[in-house]
């Protein structure tokens, strides 16, 4: 509760709403104690006195009644009626909702049908019908407004109750022989009340507005008694000659409703976990770059090189070093594998290349990425956009989520082309069919009109690959493209990629957590752990003699076909959190070969021939070969 | 598709019956003798008895309901006592005016609300977002009847840009320009709250969608940001915006009551308020049933639009 109030206080607008509302309520409460003239005493010789006159701060109305006094009494009445309506609607609505949600079955069905019927009405219409039956009057307006809001509460509370009624503690209470009434009162109600309060806080503004509206129409409070709505309604006839009599009550309604809305928004935001975690931040078109050091020259050869690349996620005051200085290079026609556990930073490394890391919270903080000699880190968005898909294309995991669900795959393929060059409809369609045939999709000409959800997982992934090929890119970055697929489909996709690489001289960066896949496709492989490369070299060499203990353990996790005798070993423990990396080797905690010096200082990636390893005590070659 | 529409139309029948039951039940709540309520307290007992028999009010409630329902199905909604003409004629005539007003408002609030929401989301926490958020907050907080009065004061009385009230000029041609001239202010005043609500929802729906994987795919393809926002993100966000448009249509339709009173628009809302104040019960009954039925029908249109927009919905 205190944390909640703190959050609310940090939201300045909500705080302003709270203060305004508190003031309004305070003055409404003390109105009877203030030395105000009687709001209903008429004085026709003193009609329409303008505001700021002596004896009448806000002036007088068409019957010479003091507007300030009427405003304060009217506010008091409007607030009281609004809150009362909210309370009645919440109480009855919650009771209906709890009964429907708790008992379920036919009770639930019948009640909710009725609620749906009520919701099928435009709501003011229903209120009008009720007032028509009961006759105009403030109490009847209150009943009407409360009644039309009951379905809203009933439906919300029912949803919450259904969730609670199936929880273990309710079952336990039932088994212990508690009566339904007692369970509802002691187990369900305490859990539902916060929801009721929130729903009330967001609707009380509406209720005040609605009762004011009915009074404005002359269906609510009857003269001489006046709430804000009827004050406005009575002033309407003098709108042109004496606008102040309208503006005074109108502004008051505006202020009250606005304060309540601000407060309600604040409450909602404070309770929404997604806002706290930044999960509702929109990713910018390109990842933010904040390099404090000078861009570095490439250290590797190749069409695409990454040099000391650093990418961080900054959430509030925490910094997650997802990529901590990665240096890599890939040559045309070559396939480079990047392997590591979930969270090792391999995907973020790949996305950093084209500025596709979600930002905020992602920021590239150092290093460089060179594509054919051009540094892409810090390149303007316009430049990056022309390179995306044309020079460097991506294939993502899980094509059900990565293809647009509402566009036909043909249109998505054509768009990939038309993003970079003007293309006619017929030409685009022909090219799209050609692409689908290139990735061996049968009946390409009819498949092109399918939506993603109408294709199988393997077919969708082929579409993803076809889209990557659309502009004959130089580099393809494939981020776990086969992880979601079953083994036979996976093999087909891998051989397809392999063929494409040979036919078109593509450079492929292939990200995976599966050594089996690496062995089939990659010429070289880099092993990542906690945002850094711990071992790198030709695939064959690394598979035969892994030097880094992590590589060795990772390979031991892979079941081998026909190798039934070998023990599968999971690596104990978890990778370290990248916002709290230990000094020295990040793998030390989980390593069987750890020595005291492993935890001392930074360990360099030590090259030896075509390979490199970041370890002070690597696995000896004979042992590794076994 | 045709079968889906037919099924939706069939499923509206129980809802319409429910609505008729609710309206009938509310009218049955009228305290005391309905005939006295209609005729006023000065009516002679003979007159009251005659009217009771005339209206079938001496029969049991259930029977009364079915007679009433049967008459309605034949297009007989009774006669308005105050206007001395069939309820249906009056309601349909007035409903036309309301449809012009509410329809214009609805188009206006949908277009402007969605655009504001998209621009707001695309510039999250930027100047445009903050400005739109503030205007939206103001919009959803201002009572439409007060806004309407202030607009009359400013744009009709002081600036003399638009006529202050009515649907047609008292003298002069009843052409489309005269109508538009009269329509601008009430349609705008009526749409403000709904625009705000739609803008808010569109903003959050867009923010939700912009984090999805397929947006990253669009960017990875090199689709320009404008295309990412308006083609990819908005298209997906529409799936959650459309149902809200349906709800807001109900709010616009019923909010028209206030606007029609403020701007003297000859619509059904003003007719209902007058009828209530005159205790013209049959007119209220007929008006409410017809408007509610139209709203149910409109919701079917929304559902069909939704299924056209989202190929994943099984039709």
Cite the beta strand spans of A333-466 per DSSP E: 335-339, 362-371, 374-375, 392-395
Question: Do A438 and A545 reside in the same domain of the chain?
Answer: no
CATH number at residue A272: 1.10.3720.10
Question: Do A518 and A541 reside in the same domain of the chain?
Answer: no
Q: Is A339 part of a structural domain of the chain?
A: no
Dig out the tokens for A273 from the structure: 């976990």
pLDDT of residue A360: 80
Question: Do A230 and A184 reside in the same domain of the chain?
Answer: yes
Helix (H, G, I), strand (E, B) or coil at A17: helix
> What is the per-residue pLDDT across A41-70, written as a single tens digit (0 to 9) for each?
777 777 777 877 777 777 777 777 888 888
Per-residue pLDDT of chain B (315 residues; tens, 9 = 90+): 788 888 888 888 888 888 888 888 887 777 666 666 667 667 777 877 777 777 666 778 888 888 888 888 888 888 887 788 898 999 999 999 999 999 999 999 999 999 999 999 998 888 999 999 999 999 989 999 999 999 999 998 888 898 888 888 777 777 888 888 889 999 999 999 999 999 999 999 999 899 889 999 999 999 999 999 999 999 999 989 998 898 888 889 888 999 999 999 999 999 998 888 887 888 888 888 888 888 888 888 888 888 888 887 765
Q: Is A545 part of a structural domain of the chain?
A: yes
Between strands A475-479 and A507-512, the pairing is parallel
In chain A, residues 294-353 whose CB comes closer than 8 Å to chain B: 351
Residues of chain A below pLDDT 50: none
d(CA B204, CA B197): 11
Cβ-contact B182, B168 below 8 angstroms: yes
pLDDT of residue A325: 87
By the CB < 8 Å criterion, does B245 face chain A?
no
The residue in chain B having the minimum alpha-carbon distance to the alpha carbon of residue A477 is B220
Q: Chain B: nearest CA to A247, how far in angstroms?
A: 8
Q: Is A310 part of a structural domain of the chain?
A: no
d(CA A220, CA A136): 6
Cβ <8 Å between A131 and B152: no
Q: Chain B: nearest CA to A254, how far in angstroms?
A: 5
d(CA A526, CA A345): 12
Q: Is A360 part of a structural domain of the chain?
A: no
Residues in chain B: 315
Q: Which residues of B touch A394 (CB under 8 A)?
A: 217, 220
Q: Chain B: nearest CA to A479, how far in angstroms?
A: 12
Q: At what angle do helices A228-235 and A67-103 cross, to 10 degrees?
A: 130
Question: Do A435 and A486 reside in the same domain of the chain?
Answer: yes
Cβ <8 Å between A385 and B296: no
Dihedral class, residue A547 (left if φ above 0, else alpha if ψ from -120 to 50, else beta): alpha
In chain B, residues 37-56 whose CB comes closer than 8 Å to chain A: none
Question: Do A28 and A174 reside in the same domain of the chain?
Answer: yes
Which of B252, B235, B145 minimizes the C-alpha distance to B198?
B252
Q: Is A131 part of a structural domain of the chain?
A: yes
Question: Do A480 and A564 reside in the same domain of the chain?
Answer: no
Q: Is A150 part of a structural domain of the chain?
A: yes
Alpha-carbon Rg for chain A, nearest whole angstrom, is 35
d(CA A327, CA A310): 10
- Global model pTM greater than 0.90: no
d(CA A427, CA A413): 12
Q: Which of A256, A276, A296 is the last residue of a domain?
A: A276
Question: Do A544 and A514 reside in the same domain of the chain?
Answer: no
Cβ-contact A212, B143 below 8 angstroms: yes
In our burial notation (b when 16+ CB lie closer than 10 A, e otherwise), range B117-152 reads bbbbbbebeeeebeebbebbbebbbbbbbbbbbbbb
Dig out the tokens for A510 from the structure: 């292939």
Q: Is A102 part of a structural domain of the chain?
A: yes
Dihedral class, residue A369 (left if φ above 0, else alpha if ψ from -120 to 50, else beta): beta
Q: In the 8-state DSSP scheme, what is residue A397?
A: S
Q: Is A327 part of a structural domain of the chain?
A: no
Q: Which residues of A touch B12 (CB under 8 A)?
A: none
Question: Do A455 and A569 reside in the same domain of the chain?
Answer: no
Cβ <8 Å between B312 and A405: yes
Q: Chain A: nearest CA to B238, how far in angstroms?
A: 11
Q: Chain B: nearest CA to A56, how far in angstroms?
A: 23
Cβ-contact A368, A327 below 8 angstroms: no
pLDDT of residue B307: 85
Cite the beta strand spans of chain B per DSSP E: 79-80, 85-86
Between strands A335-339 and A362-371, the pairing is unpaired
Report which secondary-structure segment, H or E, holds A314: strand A304-315
Considering only CB atoms, B295 lies closest to which of A113, A120, A257, namely A120
d(CA A140, CA B118): 41
Question: Do A423 and A496 reside in the same domain of the chain?
Answer: yes
Burial of B277 (C-beta count, 10 Å sphere; 0-12/13-18/19+): middle
In chain B, residues 68-127 whose CB comes closer than 8 Å to chain A: 121-122, 124
CATH number at residue A495: 3.40.50.300
Dig out the tokens for A292 from the structure: 């404090």
Q: Chain A: nearest CA to B211, how far in angstroms?
A: 6
Q: Cα–Cα–Cα angle for A525, A526, A528, nearest 5°?
A: 145
Cβ <8 Å between B288 and A125: yes
Cβ <8 Å between A451 and B281: no
Between strands A362-371 and A288-289, the pairing is parallel
Q: Which residues of B touch A285 (CB under 8 A)?
A: 219, 225, 228
Q: Which residues of A touch B207 (CB under 8 A)?
A: 280-282
Q: Which of A225, A251, A276 is the last residue of a domain?
A: A276
Q: Chain B: nearest CA to A251, how far in angstroms?
A: 8
Is the N-terminal amide bond of A294 cis, ω within 30° of 0? Answer: no
By the CB < 8 Å criterion, does B128 face chain A?
no
d(CA B246, CA B251): 9
Q: Give A481's Cβ-side CA count (13 Å radius).
A: 33
Question: Do A234 and A181 reside in the same domain of the chain?
Answer: yes
Residue ranges of the alpha helices (H) in B126-168? 127-141, 144-151
Q: Which residues of A touch B135 (CB under 8 A)?
A: none
By the CB < 8 Å criterion, does B272 face chain A?
yes
- Rounded to 10 degrees, the C-alpha dihedral B181/B186/B189/B193 comes to -130
Which of A534, A567, A568 minimizes the C-alpha distance to A551?
A534
The residue in chain A having the minimum alpha-carbon distance to the alpha carbon of residue B298 is A120
Which of A108, A202, A198 minimizes the C-alpha distance to A159?
A108
Question: Do A501 and A543 reside in the same domain of the chain?
Answer: no
Structural domain for A200, as ranges: 2-32+56-276
What single string gives the DSSP state of each residue in B107-131?
HHHHHHHHHHHHHHHHTTTSHHHHH
By the CB < 8 Å criterion, does B179 face chain A?
no
pLDDT of residue A404: 92
pLDDT of residue A348: 92
Residues ≥6 apart with Cβ < 8 Å to B292: A120, A121, A122, A125, B19, B23
By the CB < 8 Å criterion, does B296 face chain A?
yes
Cβ-contact B209, B237 below 8 angstroms: yes
By the CB < 8 Å criterion, does B255 face chain A?
yes
Paired with A611 in beta bridges are A608
Q: Which residues of A touch B226 (CB under 8 A)?
A: none
Question: Do A9 and A158 reside in the same domain of the chain?
Answer: yes
Query: How many domains are there within chain A?
Result: 3
pLDDT of residue A413: 93
The residue in chain B having the minimum alpha-carbon distance to the alpha carbon of residue A240 is B153
Alpha-carbon Rg for chain B, nearest whole angstrom, is 24
d(CA A594, CA A597): 8
């Amino acid at each position: 509760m205190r944390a909640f109030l703190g959050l609310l206080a940090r939201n300045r607008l909500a705080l302003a709403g709270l203060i305004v509302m508190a003031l309004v309520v305070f003055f409404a409460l003390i109105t009877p104690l203030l030395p105000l003239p009687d709001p209903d005493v008429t004085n026709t010789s003193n009609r329409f006195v303008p505001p700021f006159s002596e004896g009448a701060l806000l002036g007088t109305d068409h019957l010479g009644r003091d507007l300030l006094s009427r405003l304060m009494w009217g506010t008091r009445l409007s607030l009281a009626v609004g809150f009362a309506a909210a309370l009645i609607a919440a109480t009855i609505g919650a009771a209906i909702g709890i009964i429907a949600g708790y008992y379920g079955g036919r009770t639930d069905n019948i009640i909710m049908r009725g609620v749906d019927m009520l919701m099928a009405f435009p709501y003011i219409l229903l209120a009008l019908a009720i007032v028509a039956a009961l006759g105009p009057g403030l109490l009847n307006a209150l009943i009407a407004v409360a009644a039309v809001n009951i379905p809203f509460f009933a439906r919300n509370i029912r949803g919450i109750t259904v969730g609670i009624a199936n929880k273990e503690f309710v079952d336990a209470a039932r088994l212990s022989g508690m009566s339904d009434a007692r369970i509802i009162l002691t187990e369900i109600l305490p859990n539902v009340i916060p929801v009721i309060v929130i729903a009330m806080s967001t609707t009380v503004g509406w209720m005040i507005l609605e009762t004011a509206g009915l009074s404005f129409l002359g269906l609510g409070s009857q003269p001489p008694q006046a709430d804000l709505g009827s004050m406005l309604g009575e002033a309407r006839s003098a709108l042109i000659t004496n606008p102040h009599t309208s503006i005074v009550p109108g502004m008051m309604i505006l202020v009250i409703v606005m304060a309540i809305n601000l407060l309600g928004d604040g409450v909602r935001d404070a309770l929404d976990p997604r806002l706290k975690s930044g999960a509702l931040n929109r990713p910018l078109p390109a990842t933010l770059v904040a390099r404090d050091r000078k861009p570095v020259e490439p250290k590797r050869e190749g069409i695409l090189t990454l040099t000391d690349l650093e990418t961080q996620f900054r959430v509030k005051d925490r910094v997650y070093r997802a990529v901590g200085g990665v240096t890599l290079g890939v040559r045309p026609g070559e396939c480079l594998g990047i392997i590591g556990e979930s969270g090792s930073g391999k995907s973020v490394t790949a996305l950093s290349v084209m500025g596709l890391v979600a930002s905020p919270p992602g920021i590239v903080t150092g290093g460089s990425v060179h594509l054919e000699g051009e540094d892409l880190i810090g390149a303007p968005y316009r430049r990056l956009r022309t390179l995306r898909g044309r020079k460097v294309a991506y294939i993502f995991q899980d094509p059900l989520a990565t293809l647009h669900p509402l566009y036909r795959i043909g249109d998505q393929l054509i768009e990939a082309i038309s993003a970079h060059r003007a293309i006619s409809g017929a030409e685009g369609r022909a090219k799209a069919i050609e692409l689908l045939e290139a990735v061996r999709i049968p009946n390409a000409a009819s498949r092109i009109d399918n939506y993603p959800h109408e294709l199988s997982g393997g077919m969708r992934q082929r579409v993803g690959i076809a889209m990557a090929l659309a502009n004959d890119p130089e580099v393809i970055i494939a981020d776990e493209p086969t992880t979601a697929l079953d083994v036979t489909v996976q093999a087909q996709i891998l051989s397809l990629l392999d063929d494409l690489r040979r036919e078109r001289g593509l450079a492929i960066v292939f990200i995976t957590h599966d050594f089996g896949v690496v062995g089939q496709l990659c010429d070289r492989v880099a092993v990542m752990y906690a945002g850094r490369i711990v071992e790198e070299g030709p695939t064959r060499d690394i598979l035969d003699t892994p030097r880094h203990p992590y590589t060795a353990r990772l390979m031991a996790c892979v079941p081998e076909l026909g190798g039934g005798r070998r023990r599968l070993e999971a690596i104990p423990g978890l990778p370290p959190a990248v916002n709290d990396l230990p000094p020295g080797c990040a793998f030390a905690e989980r390593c069987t070969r750890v020595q005291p010096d492993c935890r001392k200082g930074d360990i360099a990636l030590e090259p030896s021939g075509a390979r490199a390893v970041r370890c002070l005590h690597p696995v000896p070659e004979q042992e590794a070969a076994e | 598709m045709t079968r889906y529409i037919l099924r939706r139309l069939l499923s509206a029948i129980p809802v319409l019956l429910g609505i008729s039951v609710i309206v009938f039940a509310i009218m049955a709540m009228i305290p005391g003798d309905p005939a006295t309520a209609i005729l006023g307290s000065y009516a002679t007992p003979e007159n009251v008895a005659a009217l009771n028999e005339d209206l079938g009010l001496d029969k049991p409630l259930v029977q009364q309901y079915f007679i009433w329902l049967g008459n309605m199905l034949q297009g007989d909604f009774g006669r308005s006592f105050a206007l001395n003409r069939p309820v249906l004629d009056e309601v349909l005539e007035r409903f036309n005016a309301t449809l012009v007003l509410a329809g214009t408002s609805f188009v206006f609030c949908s277009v402007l609300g969605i655009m504001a929401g998209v621009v707001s989301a695309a510039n999250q926490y930027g100047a445009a977002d903050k400005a739109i958020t503030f205007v939206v907050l103001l919009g959803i907080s201002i009572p439409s009847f007060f806004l309407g009065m202030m607009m009359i004061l400013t744009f009709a009385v002081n600036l003399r840009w638009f006529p202050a009230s009515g649907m047609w000029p008292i003298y002069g041609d009843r052409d489309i320009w005269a109508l538009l001239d009269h329509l601008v202010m009430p349609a705008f005043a009526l749409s403000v709250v709904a625009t705000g609500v739609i803008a808010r929802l569109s903003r959050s729906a867009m923010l939700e969608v912009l984090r999805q994987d397929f947006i990253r795919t669009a960017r990875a393809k090199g689709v320009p940001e404008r295309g990412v926002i308006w083609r990819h993100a908005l298209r997906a966000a529409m799936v959650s915006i459309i149902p809200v448009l349906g709800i807001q249509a109900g709010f616009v339709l019923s909010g028209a009551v206030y606007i029609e009173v403020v701007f003297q628009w000859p619509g059904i809302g003003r007719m209902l308020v007058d009828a209530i104040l005159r205790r013209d019960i049959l007119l209220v009954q007929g008006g409410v049933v017809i408007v509610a039925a139209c709203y149910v029908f409109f919701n079917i249109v929304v559902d069909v639009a939704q299924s056209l927009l989202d190929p994943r919905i099984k039709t």
